[in-house]
Every structure is written in C-alpha cells, then in structure tokens.
C-alpha cells in the first residue's frame, strides 16, 4: 500500500489557528514568566550592546584614527579608553547572549515537560475508540516529532526572532541618525530581500511541512514493521515491505530535498545580496563623502550596520519555516489534549465492607474480602448493596459506528457464581458483549444491570475494579515477573503474587527462569513463550481476586497438555465467581452453566452443554465438527 503522493500532502502541516496556538503555548510558559521577562531584557541588552559597539566606530575614525594619520608620536590614551569601553560593551553583550540562551533552555524544557505530562495524563482518560481510530505511530509522533519541533522553536527560533527584531529596529534607527540618504538605499534593498524571502520561503515552507508529515508516516511504518517482524518473515513479506517502505521513504526524500534545497539557497542568495548592498552603500557613501563632506566615521559605522541589518533579516526568514512547523506540531498536540475524555456520570462506588453486630453492611477501610456498592441516597447518606456478581443484559443494542449494529437486542443473565460461555463465528459479537460489561463502550439501547444497578450509574474505575480480564492478546510490561503479576493488584504482597501464580499453574515455570520471580521481562515478554505469557496474564487476573472474571480466548495460546494442567487451577480461580468465557475450543466450555451461541449479533441458541447437544442445532454442528468455527 503506497502512501499519499507528495502533491496530496500540501499544506498538511500548516497551522489552522496561529493566534490561538501561540496563546496556548504562552499559557504553558506562564510558570516561567519571570525567566521570560529576564530573557527579553537580556536580549535587548545584547542587541543594544552590538548596536552601541558599532556606533563607536564613528568617534574612533573621526577623533583619533583620521587625525592620527601622518603623526609621528600620537597620544593613544583616549583612543585606548574608547577601545576599552567598546570591549566592556561587547563583553556585556556576550554575557547577555549567554544568559538568555541558558534561560531559554530552562524555559523550553520546563514547558515541554508540562506539555508531555498533560498529554500523557489526558491520554489515560481517552476512550478506547480513540486508540482504535489512531495508529501507534501517529500517536508516538506527537510525543517525538511534534514536541521536537516545538522544542526547537522555544529554545532557538523564539529568542532568535525576538533578537533579530530588536536588532533590525535598533540598527534602522541608528542608520537614520547617521545618514537618511543611505538609509533610503537600505530600504530599497530591504524590499528586494523581502521579495526573495517570500518566493523562496513559500516554497521551502511547503516542503518543510510535507517533510514533517512524511517523517511521521515513515516512523509509524517502521514501528509497525518492527512489531510485526515475525509475521513479515512467516509470510515472506520482506520484499513487499521494502517496496512499501521505499515508497514512503521516497516521499520523505522528495520533501526533504525540496525543503533543504530552497532553504539552502536562501542563505547564499541573501549573503550575496548583502554583499551587493554593502558595495552599493560604500560607493554611494564615498560619493557623499566627496561631494557633501559626509564624514568617514559615519560611513564606517553605516557600512557595518548594513551587515548587521541584512543578517537578522536573513535569520528571521529562516526561522519562519521552523516556527510554522512548530505551530503546526503544537496544534496536533493540542488536538490530542482537546479530545473529549471518557465520560463518567456514575456516582455508585465500590468499597470494602463488613457486617456489623446487627448483620448490616457497613463501610470499612481495611480489606475484608467483602465488597459492597455504595449508593448515594441524595441526602448525604448512602445505602450499601453487597457485590455478588449478578449481571444481566436487557435488550441491549450496540454498534461501534452509527448505522452499523453489532448486537441486536441481546438479553441474558449471569447469576452469582455462574459460568457463562459464548461461542460463535469470528465477528459474531462475542467479544463485544464483554467489552460492554466493563464499559469500554456504551450501549445505544437497553440496560446492563450489575447486582440490580445500571452500570451507567457506577463509576467506571470502580466498575472495572470489580472485574478482571484475561485477553487473547497478552500484553506484558517491562519489569520483573513479580511486578507483572502484581499489576493486577498493586497492593498485593509477594506471598499473594506467588499464590496467584500457583493457582494459574505458572509457579513451576517461573521458578525455572534465571532469576525466578525477579526475572526481567522485556519487549512485551519476547523472552517467554506465548503460553508462558498467557499463564502470567491468568496469574495477574487471579491476584486481583475479583468477583467477576472475563476470559476472552484465555487458553488459546496454551497447548492441550498445559491447558489440562491449568484447568484445575482455573476451576479454583472461577469458584464462587461469575465468569464470562469466550472460547473457540468447545472443550473448555463444557462445564459452563449456560452456553450462548451468537451469530450476527443475536443469541440463536442457549442452554448447557447437554441441552444444546439435544437441540441438534448450531452448537451440535460445531461440537461434532459438522461446522467449523471461523
């Protein structure tokens, strides 16, 4: 699949609302406002020091250098004093330059720290559908490419632009004081420079934006290929992957070539224009000196100012593209920050509970193994309902996209301690049912009741704390085996973690690892087999000790022998809990209290194993091999 052509990416990185974006960036810089004020003061001091130092050329030439011509033993004392004053001025300017550069590094890193913190924190609040709609590479580019361009703008472009602006204004005023006639020449050359900058800058700016977009696509593709390298090799897809990468890389090459070609042209062209400007000014100044008595000192200072004038103009033009890209990157960051967080209107919470002397539930701070739903009564008080794990679907309708219904009026119930299994073809809606229980997505119609409480009234964090899931795609984090199991419940002791591992039959293989429970897991557990990773996921669910378990193809990556070994442990784990099981291996659901056969978003059969075999319907066909699950 080839990426978009270069001409399709034009203006892809152009900021939409520059003023609003700058305002938001300044808000993030607010905690460093005192440092920013000091930076501006130091920039002004640095620029004025450079301007003042150049202006001293006029008295040097007029009072000492020209009068000294032809003298045998001139008195250099005053001359040396002026040289000393100039040295002090330039030293102050250099110190100010060093100071504001160091301060801007602190300001920029602090600003980016706050932005990255807000990005990550806000990302944790976003619903799953946001991550389903955006690739990992696209999201990562906001933390890398976009923040990097923003860092360049804050640490360099911002202060350079301000410094260049002050220098241009100061130099222009100084030139007006020295010679209004020569200043007219400068203005004429300035218009020529602006014309060149506009022509080249617009072209390079377009390509710089394309380059930034192309970098994100290349990085995203590389990340995808690294993650899927095993699949690439299994299907001999290396050649096709290279072709696709070459296509994306070619786009990046063309964009980078265009960007840096026009950007590279700008400096030498502006440099040659400044030399031309210098020569024209020198000729006209010499004519003025001969015809009008224009002094040599003023001419020397003015000529130096012409160089000081063209250099910041060139610098400002070069910073324009950098600032444009940074603002566009900042907009992408703010787009993430402006995404609507996951809504949570629930007020029912999950609390530790115990029975008082009268047999009534009451809240406690200690872990008792008894959980209760705390339901506010509207008068500042609350009632308590024991968490049992009774879950009911009442005519539930749901679709991931508007107009595309996945579940069509599903109704079912799971009494406390029951094991409910879902079977059916891929895409029938089995996993969707479990995604709705923990409110990864909200239903369109109907109700889902948890111990008689509509789950929309339960805070999502508390709802999910009462559930534990083992997914088909196991994800392990960088850290030790112990830490990965403890992820299920962060306050679990080492003994509880080990007990959970034993329950999942993972303890044996863990103890044979190089460092046992302290073995480091890297690269999403690539140093473990798929079955071992699945066992750790089951242990992680076990340590959470939830009243409700959701097992989505939980044993799909475990061989038959291992599955038999852990089945006893799984039975112990499921004992006394409400369990929802999705499985392609029908042998794993034979002992379920109820089996739901789902097809096209509807429950077409329900009953236990024996009942469904007697019905000789779809389940019978699946179980006897007359119909293969796909």
Coil vs helix vs strand at 595: strand
What's the CATH code of the domain at 112?
1.20.1560.10
- Tens digits of residue pLDDT in 219-270: 778 877 877 776 777 777 788 888 888 988 998 888 888 777 776 777 777 7
CA torsion through residues 114, 120, 123, 124, sign? negative
Please answer whether residues 500 and 488 qualify as being in contact, where contact means their C-beta atoms are separated by less than 8 angstroms.
yes
Tell whether 258 is covered by a domain. yes
Domain that includes residue 354, residue range: 349-386
Q: Is residue 1 a part of any domain in this protein?
A: no
Return the closest-CA partner of residue 323 out of 185, 548, 516, 161: 161
What pLDDT does residue 10 have? 36
pLDDT of residue 70: 65
pLDDT digits (tens, 9 = 90+) for 6-33: 333 333 445 667 889 999 999 999 999 9
Give the mean model confidence (pLDDT) for residues 357-375: 87
Q: Is residue 147, in this structure, part of any structural domain at all? A: yes
Q: What is the dihedral of CA 282, 285, 287, 290, to 10 degrees?
A: -120
Count structural domains, the chain: 3
Same-domain status, 537 and 396: yes
CB atoms within 10 A of CB 286: 13
* Coil/strand/helix, residue 354: strand
Structure tokens at 173: 């005023």
Quote the CA–CA distance of 163 and 145 in Å, as a whole number.
26
Q: Residue 109 and residue 112: Cα distance in Å, rounded?
A: 5
**How distant is the alpha carbon of residue 136 from its chain centre?**
9
What percent of the chain shows pLDDT beyond 90? 24
Instruction: Let me know whether 147 and 265 are in one domain.
Output: yes
pLDDT higher than 80, residue 544: yes
DSSP string, 5-56: -GGGSTTTT--S-HHHHHHHHHHHHGGGHHHHHHHHHHHHHHHHHHHHHHHT
Distance CA 82, CA 56 (A): 8
Residue 350 β-bridge partners: 373
pLDDT recorded at residue 480? 92
Q: In this structure, are 294 and 374 located in the same domain?
A: no
139, 209: one domain:
yes
> Would you state the pLDDT for residue 12?
41
Name the domain boundary from 328, 359, 386: 386
Do 116 and 142 sit in the same domain of this protein?
A: yes
Q: Enumerate residues 6+ apart whose C-beta is below 8 A from 440.
A: 127, 128
Classify residue 311: in a domain, yes or no: yes
Q: Domain check: are 308 and 405 in the same one?
A: no
Q: Indicate if 272 and 380 belong to the same structural domain.
A: no
Higher pLDDT, 554 or 471: 471
Quote the CA–CA distance of 34 and 308 in Å, as a whole number: 29
Write the CA distances from 578 to 342, 413, 434, 610, integer angstroms.
26, 11, 13, 21
Q: Is 97 inside any structural domain?
A: yes
In-domain check, residue 367: yes
Residue 412 has pLDDT above 50, yes or no: yes
What pLDDT score does 630 carry?
42
Query: Within this chain, do residues 369 and 468 fall inside the same structural domain, yes or no?
Result: no
The arithmetic mean of pLDDT across residues 292-316, rounded, is: 81
**Structure confidence at residue 584 as a pLDDT band (50, 70, 90):** low
Q: Does 361 share its domain with 296?
A: no
pLDDT over threshold 70, residue 116: yes
Q: What is the mean pLDDT of the chain?
A: 83
b (16+ CB within 10 A) / e for 481-499: bbbbbbbbbeebeeebbbb
- Distance (Å, rounded) from C-alpha 324 to C-alpha 152? 11
Q: Do strands 594-599 and 602-607 pair parallel, antiparallel, or not at all (unpaired)?
A: antiparallel
CATH number of the domain where residue 476 is located: 3.40.50.300
- 477-530: per-residue pLDDT in tens? 888 999 999 988 888 999 999 999 988 888 989 999 999 999 998 767 777 887
- Beta-bridged to residue 420, according to DSSP, are 580, 594
pLDDT at residue number 37: 93
Residue 619 has pLDDT above 90, yes or no: no
Q: Read off the tokens for 135.
A: 């690739």
564 or 354: which carries more pLDDT confidence?
Answer: 354
Q: Which tokens sit at 45?
A: 């001091």
| pLDDT score, position 504 | 82
Residues 380 and 516 in one domain: no
Report the Cα–Cα distance between both ends of the chain, in Å, rounded.
27
Please report whether residue 450 resides in a domain. Answer: yes
- Residue 50's pLDDT band, with cuts at 50, 70 and 90, is confident
Q: Are residues 381 and 448 in the same domain?
A: no
What is the Cα–Cα distance from 460 to 29, expressed in whole angstroms?
34
pLDDT-based confidence at 119, cuts 50/70/90? Answer: very high
Taking phi first (over 0 means left), then psi (-120 to 50 degrees means alpha), and beta for anything else, what does residue 114 get? alpha
170 and 288 share one domain: yes
């Amino acid at each position: 699949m080839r990426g978009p052509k270069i001409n399709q990416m034009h203006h892809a990185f152009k900021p939409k609302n520059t003023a609003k974006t700058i305002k938001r960036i300044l808000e993030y810089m607010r905690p460093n406002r005192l440092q920013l004020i000091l930076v501006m003061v130091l920039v002004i001091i640095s620029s004025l020091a450079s301007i003042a130092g150049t202006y001293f050329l006029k008295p040097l030439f007029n009072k000492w250098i020209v009068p000294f011509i032809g003298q045998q033993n001139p008195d250099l004392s005053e001359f040396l004093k002026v040289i000393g004053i100039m040295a002090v001025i330039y030293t102050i300017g250099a110190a100010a330059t060093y100071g504001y550069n160091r301060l801007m590094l602190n300001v920029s890193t602090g600003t980016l720290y706050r932005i990255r913190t807000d990005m990550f924190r806000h990302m944790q609040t976003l619903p799953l559908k946001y991550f389903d709609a955006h690739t990992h590479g696209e999201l990562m580019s906001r933390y890398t490419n976009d923040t990097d361009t923003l860092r360049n703008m804050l640490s360099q472009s911002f202060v350079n632009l301000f410094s260049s602006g002050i220098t241009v204004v100061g130099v222009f005023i100084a030139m007006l004081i020295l010679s209004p006639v020569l200043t007219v020449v400068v203005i004429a050359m300035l218009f020529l420079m602006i014309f060149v900058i506009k022509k080249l800058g617009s072209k390079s700016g377009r390509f710089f934006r394309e380059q930034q977009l192309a970098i994100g696509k290349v990085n995203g593709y590389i990340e995808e290929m690294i993650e899927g390298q095993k699949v690439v090799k299994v299907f001999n897809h290396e050649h096709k992957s290279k072709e696709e990468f070459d296509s994306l890389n070619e786009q990046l090459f063309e964009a980078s070539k265009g960007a840096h070609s026009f950007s590279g042209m700008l400096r030498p062209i502006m440099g040659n224009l400044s030399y031309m400007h210098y020569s024209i000014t020198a000729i006209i100044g010499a004519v003025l000196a001969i015809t009008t008595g224009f002094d040599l000192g003023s001419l020397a200072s003015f000529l130096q100012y012409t160089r000081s004038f063209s250099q910041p103009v060139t610098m400002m033009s070069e910073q324009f593209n950098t600032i444009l890209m940074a603002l566009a990157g900042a907009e992408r960051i703010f787009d993430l920050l402006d995404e609507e967080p996951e809504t949570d209107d629930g007020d029912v919470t999950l609390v530790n509970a115990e029975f008082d002397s009268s047999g009534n539930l009451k809240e406690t701070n200690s872990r008792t193994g008894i959980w209760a739903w705390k339901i506010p009564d509207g008068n500042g008080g609350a009632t308590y309902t024991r968490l049992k794990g009774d879950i009911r679907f009442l005519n539930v309708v749901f679709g991931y996209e508007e107009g595309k219904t996945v579940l069509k009026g599903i109704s079912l119930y799971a009494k406390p301690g029951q094991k409910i299994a879902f079977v059916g073809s891929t895409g029938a809606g089995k996993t969707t049912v479990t995604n709705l229980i923990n409110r990864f997505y909200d239903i369109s119609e109907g109700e889902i009741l948890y111990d008689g409480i509509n789950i929309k009234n339960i805070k999502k964090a508390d709802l999910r704390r009462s559930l534990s899931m083992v997914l088909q795609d196991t994800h392990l984090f960088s850290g030790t085996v112990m830490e990965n199991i403890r992820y299920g419940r962060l306050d679990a002791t080492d003994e509880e973690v080990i007990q959970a591992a034993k329950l999942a039959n993972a303890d044996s293989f863990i103890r044979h690892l190089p460092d046992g429970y302290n073995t480091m897991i890297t690269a999403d557990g690539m140093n473990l087999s798929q079955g071992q990773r699945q066992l750790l996921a089951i242990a992680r669910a076990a340590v959470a000790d939830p009243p409700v378990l959701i097992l989505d193809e939980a044993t799909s990556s475990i061989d038959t022998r291992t599955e038999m070994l852990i089945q006893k442990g799984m039975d112990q784990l499921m004992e006394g809990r409400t369990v929802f099981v999705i499985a392609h291996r029908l042998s794993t659901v034979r002992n379920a209290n109820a089996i739901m056969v789902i097809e096209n978003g509807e429950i077409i059969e329900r009953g236990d194993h024996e009942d469904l075999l007697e019905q000789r319907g779809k389940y019978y066909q699946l179980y006897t091999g007359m119909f293969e699950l796909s």
